[in-house]
Structure 1
Amino acid sequence: MDRRTFLSGAAIAGASIASACGDTSQQGSDVASPAINRGVKRLRMVTTWPANFPGLGTAANNVAAYANAASGGTLDIRVYAAGEIVSAFEAFDAVSEGTADMYHGAEYYWQGKSPAFNFFTAVPLGMTATEIMGWVEFGGGQALWDELSGQFNIKPFQAGNSGHQMGGWFKREINSLEDFRGLRMRIPGLGGNVLRELGGAAVTLSGGEIYPALQSGAIDATEWVGPWNDLAFGFYREAPFYYGPGFHEPGSCLGVGMNLGVWNDLDEDHKAIIHAACRAANNVSLAEFTYQNAQALDVLLNEHGVQLRSFTDEMWSRIGEISEQVVSDTGNADAMTRRVYESYITARNQMQNWGRISEMPYMAHRDRILRG
């Protein structure tokens, strides 16, 4: 099998890249093999994350490390955290305009460009992590994403997933729907629209801005990701009530976007390597979040006295009604978004039917049996 044929098998290539890379903490020029008889392609990746932040920042690092190692030194992707070249929310424009070559971030940050971007990260009552992977890879999602991002001179890829996200950290208990009224909460994307319909005030902040806002009282609550990342930021010090599960991000896809001109100029080997590196990082990310969230939850509960809470059935019913309306309204905003929405909802409903007779009853029975 020649090298190009091997790389075209993305699942095989992704696994090979992940296993070959070993320690992914060193980025950029520290590649093992020299670039022989070929120029080195140097690319700058800007991110929406703090430097080396667990799970999110390191997913970006992994994309670079996997691609650099697999290229034999002919790719040199260097990662820059939010604020090092551009701020978190300027990453998309930087890549679109060619100031940077690629970004790693959450697509719903770009909803101001098109509401359709929400569907490529997460929407309320939307797909789980494995479901969105299935839709993008096999249900037509990638072609729609390519078309959407292509309008902004960007080629997109899945490149991480944080799995299920928690409902958030609150300074006071939320015992009824009335408690959402006037609540100032950091919650981006369509989850923020749901909060506004509940009477709250949704605030969009990048990761590094959240803790100071909680500490100063600028916000009363925040969602971020899940126990692993939330523990790293120390939100429990300011807001002791931890609510879950969340309704807003049941599986949050992280994306790499590459300047379309830069992408088109790459040779086929480099394209295959970058695609496979994104797939490998995507798989590793979900596995890591699944395991690390379990460990971090134990620390939060048993070492920091965090008080775990759940939204009531009444809250869920109302949140569900609002969520479906918010997602529908967003999905019908324009012709492009409508096509994405219709594809997304069709795939979600089909996979929900499968989940209803597979994972959902299995998890319920396993929990009942193991709890005794």
Structure 2
Amino acid sequence: MTSPDSVPGLPADLSGWLAAGHHGGMDWMEERADQRADPAVLWPGVRSIVMVGMNYSPETDPLGLLSQRDRGAIAAYAQRRDYHEVLKGKLKELGGYLSAKGDVRVKVFVDTAPVMEKPLAAAAGLGWQGKHTVLISREFGNWLLLGAIYTSAEFEPDEPGADHCGGCRRCLDICPTNALPAPYRLDARRCISYLTIEHEGAVAPEFRPAIGNRIFGCDDCLAVCPWNKFAKTAGEARLAARDDLAAPPLADLARLDEAAFRLRFTGTPIKRTGRDRFLRNVLIAVGNSGDPALASAALDNLGDPSSLVRGMAVWAAGRLLDRHWMASLFADRGATEIDDDVLAEWHLALDMAEMSSPKETAPS
């Protein structure tokens, strides 16, 4: 429980973060910044804020997935039912209970409204924002999904969470793309979670190798935190993961058309990102696999209707095939390409093939 004015430094912090451009292409962060910075601007009737967390502790170490290069690593939260639906339903139940106690109005928010959940959750005593900016709980580690109930009732606020990071900087040091330039500061433009989920276009070539086989989100900075040793897992109520999303084969995912994508990922956060962006991520992982046997997964997508998918298929093929194969492919497929961005990928792949040693295995 906390009050609307419990984070007085929030307006300045948010303004500085936006001014630095660290929100990348998330224009919605800027469009309603005044409501994010001050809960009373979003809803003048708010007197108290109830912050709620839902446990999603992963069944296995997310870092272990990164060595399975022929399989996709999906962030732990996305291996489950879409938390927006699950958590919002529970918050509505709780909000209904509060309303039934008297003349109390409530508004329920789960990540889709201009609410700064993490600083509010820290102010409400659920934990503290670590140096990676994510909420850390002494009971649940880094694995809490957050929701908020704004209410017209006035409640006694809880004590805010104290910072227990100390001198540890594991989350900063493990980031593959240096998206954490300083403690408590995130540059989303470099963050793999942003690049694979929020970013709409092609991923800049400089970040593609670092993405590895992470096809939706990144848990590195969360999974390395020593506070996870206290995370509650066995026997605790939490969102259960789907077995088929733990480490799906890249070759299977690369074959998904629109209908198959929707069928496979219905009810999960992945569906909201869309098939084309998801295939973009899968093909980057294919290119990073180092396995020429996966080249066919790239070749099969060279004619995809989406220019975004075609471009990443070209890049993946260039990472797995030698210069002779790429030159032959360009003569056959690239010469008829009309999209400038995809053509740029062809030229990049050909240049890289010229600079690298020939691969030993041709595509099947």
In proportion to residue count, which structure has more helix? 1
- Relative CO higher for 1 or 2, CA cutoff 8 Å, sep ≥ 6? 1
In proportion to residue count, which structure has more strand? 1
The TM-score range, normalised by the shorter chain, is under 0.3
Q: TM-score, normalised by structure 1?
A: 0.24
Structure with greater Cα Rg: 2
Q: TM-score, normalised by structure 2?
A: 0.25
